Amino acid sequence: MRVFGGLNKDPLSHACKWRIPPSPPEVLAFSVDKLPTIIVFDTEGKETGRVVESPKRRPTLEEELCEIIKFG
């Protein structure tokens, strides 16, 4: 599990959303556009699903994550 904190928007750049540093460069690698973003990976490192801001398919975050893990 990885948790990123300290993300800062770059108010001076319209081309780049995040100011790096102090934001970690992984926000670009994982295409993080909005917060919070939860990305689930399988054991081989392949993305199996993501939740951006709030659950979209299920009523709760827990149910959505369980669905991603079960069927991802």
28 and 1, same structural domain? yes
Range of the domain at 13: 1-33
* Tally of structural domains, the chain: 2
28 and 4, same structural domain? yes
Give the model confidence (pLDDT) of 24-60 as tens digits: 888 989 999 888 999 999 999 999 999 999 999 999 9
Nearest to 19 by CA among 6, 30, 31: 6
Q: pLDDT-derived band of residue 72, with 50, 70 and 90 as boundaries?
A: low
Give the model confidence (pLDDT) of 13-27 as tens digits: 888 888 888 888 889
Q: Contacts from 42-48 at CB under 8 Å and sequence distance 24+?
A: 42/72, 48/72
Q: pLDDT-derived band of residue 1, with 50, 70 and 90 as boundaries?
A: low
29 and 7, same structural domain? yes
45 and 29, same structural domain? no
64 and 49, same structural domain? yes
31 to each of 9, 50, 52, 66, how far by Cα in Å? 14, 11, 11, 22
63 and 44, same structural domain? yes
22 and 3, same structural domain? yes
